[in-house]
């Protein structure tokens, strides 16, 4: 066999996405190009107002925020430029408290409950947050409470293996409340730091489903468990449909925060602002890629700058 002379080694590719948030949100950033192009113009013409209105509505910022931006521009002009004025008003719409709780009362196990329709990335979100908790030094138990979707428990078990988490699951079609109850009991007995509980998500407009979610929440909030976060998972690519889904779940589940997935795959990233302004529920995490580390804590300033910054 001929010998092969290797003169230059090829570096092993990294699996970490090193792109900036602005690069990851390129589709949404592209929509805002026309506003950024207005630059530092201080005099606001009717044509510029039309541009701002069109861009904001196209990005799914929502009517309330769009009207607030236009009113600000009409009333006060743009002393530092149109783009800066739009940025300021958008940031003012994102002032909710984004802290998450990982502590329960003495003797009880903190539970994060996850709700949302099928297909939004709920189970994957749970897996990625399990990794985040593990990296922060917490032991995690996953409750496979979505017993109606084929292979949901199998998918969650793969995440349990990947993240070094414990898991409680049951046969397909089993009572979700009993799965969550058993998971909390095991976590309490073993001194696990936190339980992440999946729930069914077959249909958002099904009364039976919403009743089931209310029941699961009551079970999860009963000693020795305590629900400290209820996170509604939404798919950013569905735009205003995500907002409609959120309204359906709020009353039944007692939602404390939103996880917005696939934000990197949509040009309608302004839905973040519409959700917070119209529902008064904070977006706490956003998905900006496929990797396990690509579910990140939502930062309003970084998000707005990724759309309107240079």
Residues 259-307 pLDDT 10s? 999 999 999 999 999 999 888 999 999 999 988 999 999 999 999 999 9
Residue at 63 is within a domain = yes
Residue at 11 is within a domain = no
Do 298 and 169 belong to one domain? yes
Which residues form the domain of 165? 109-308
Identify which of 145, 125, 260 has the alpha carbon closest to the alpha carbon of residue 200: 145
Do 274 and 247 belong to one domain? yes
Residue at 103 is within a domain = no
pLDDT of residue 43: 80
What H or E segment, with its residue span, contains residue 196? strand 194-197
Do 71 and 166 belong to one domain? no
Edge to edge, what strands does the sheet with 225-235 contain?
Answer: 166-168, 140-143, 194-197, 109-115, 225-235, 257-261, 283-287, 295-297
Residue written as token pair 């192009």: 37
Do 56 and 192 belong to one domain? no
pTM of the entire predicted model: 0.90
pLDDT at residue 5 is higher than 70: no
Do 238 and 183 belong to one domain? yes
Residue at 10 is within a domain = no
Q: Could you give the 3-state DSSP secondary structure of residue 306?
A: helix
Q: What's the number of domains the chain is made of?
A: 2
Identify which of 253, 102, 130, 111 has the alpha carbon closest to the alpha carbon of residue 181: 111
CATH of the domain at 236: 3.40.50.300
pLDDT interval class at 4 (50, 70, 90): low
Q: What's the whole-number average pLDDT of the chain?
A: 90
CATH of the domain at 52: 1.20.120
Question: What percentage of the chain exceeds 70 in pLDDT?
Answer: 93
pLDDT of residue 119: 87
Mean pLDDT of the 30-46 span:
88
Do 177 and 38 belong to one domain? no
- Rounded to the nearest 5°, which phi and psi values hold at 252? -75, -35
Q: How far is CA 153 from the centre of its chain?
A: 21
Identify which of 111, 114, 149, 96 has the alpha carbon closest to the alpha carbon of residue 233: 114
Do 147 and 237 belong to one domain? yes
pLDDT at residue 203 is higher than 60: no
Do 167 and 41 belong to one domain? no
Residue at 4 is within a domain = no
pLDDT of residue 204: 42
- The neighbour count for residue 304, using CB atoms within 10 Å, is 21
Mean pLDDT of the 177-196 span:
97
Last residue of a domain, one of 92, 122, 155: 92
Residue at 244 is within a domain = yes
pLDDT interval class at 14 (50, 70, 90): very low
Do 216 and 268 belong to one domain? yes
Where is average pLDDT lowest: 69-73, 79-83, 202-206?
202-206
Distances (CA, A) of 203 to 200, 210, 245, 249: 9, 9, 9, 10
pLDDT interval class at 96 (50, 70, 90): very high
Do 84 and 155 belong to one domain? no
Residue at 16 is within a domain = no
Mean pLDDT of the 117-123 span:
91
Q: Which residue has the higher pLDDT, 8 or 189?
A: 189
Residue at 65 is within a domain = yes
pLDDT at residue 13 is higher than 50: no
Do 126 and 182 belong to one domain? yes
pLDDT of residue 8: 54
CA distance 64 to 43: 23
Mean pLDDT of the 54-79 span:
93
pLDDT at residue 6 is higher than 70: no
- The neighbour count for residue 10, using CB atoms within 10 Å, is 6
Do 285 and 147 belong to one domain? yes
Widest pairwise Cα distance in the chain: 80
* Sequence-separated contacts (24+) of 5-8 with Cβ below 8 Å: none
């Amino acid at each position: 066999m001929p010998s092969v002379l290797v003169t230059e080694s090829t570096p092993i590719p990294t699996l970490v996405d090193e792109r900036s948030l602005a690069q990851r949100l390129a589709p949404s950033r592209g929509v805002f190009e026309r506003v950024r192009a207005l630059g530092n113009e201080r005099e606001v013409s009717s044509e510029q107002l039309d541009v701002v209105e069109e861009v904001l509505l196209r990005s799914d910022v929502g009517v309330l925020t769009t009207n607030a931006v236009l009113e600000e521009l009409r009333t006060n002009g743009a002393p530092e430029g149109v783009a800066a004025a739009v940025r300021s008003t958008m940031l003012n719409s994102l002032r909710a408290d984004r802290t998450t709780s990982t502590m329960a009362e003495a003797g009880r196990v903190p539970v994060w409950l996850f709700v949302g329709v099928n297909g939004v990335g709920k189970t994957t979100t749970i897996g990625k947050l399990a990794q985040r908790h593990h990296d922060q030094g917490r032991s995690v138990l996953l409750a496979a409470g979505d017993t109606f979707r084929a292979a949901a428990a199998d998918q969650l078990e793969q995440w349990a293996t990947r993240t070094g988490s414990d898991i409680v699951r049951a046969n397909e079609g089993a009572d979700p409340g009993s799965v969550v109850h058993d998971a909390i009991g095991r976590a309490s007995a073993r001194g696990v730091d936190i339980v992440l509980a999946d729930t069914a998500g077959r249909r958002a407009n099904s009364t039976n489903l919403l009743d089931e979610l209310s029941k699961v929440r009551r079970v999860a909030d009963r000693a020795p468990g305590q629900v400290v976060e209820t996170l509604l998972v939404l798919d950013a690519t569905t735009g205003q449909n995500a907002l409609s889904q959120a309204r359906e779940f709020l009353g039944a589940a007692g939602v404390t925060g939103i996880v917005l997935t696939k934000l990197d795959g949509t040009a309608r990233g302004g839905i973040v602002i519409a959700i917070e302004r119209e529902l008064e529920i904070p977006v706490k995490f956003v998905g900006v890629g496929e990797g396990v580390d690509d579910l990140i804590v939502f930062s309003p300033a970084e998000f707005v700058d990724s759309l309107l910054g240079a």
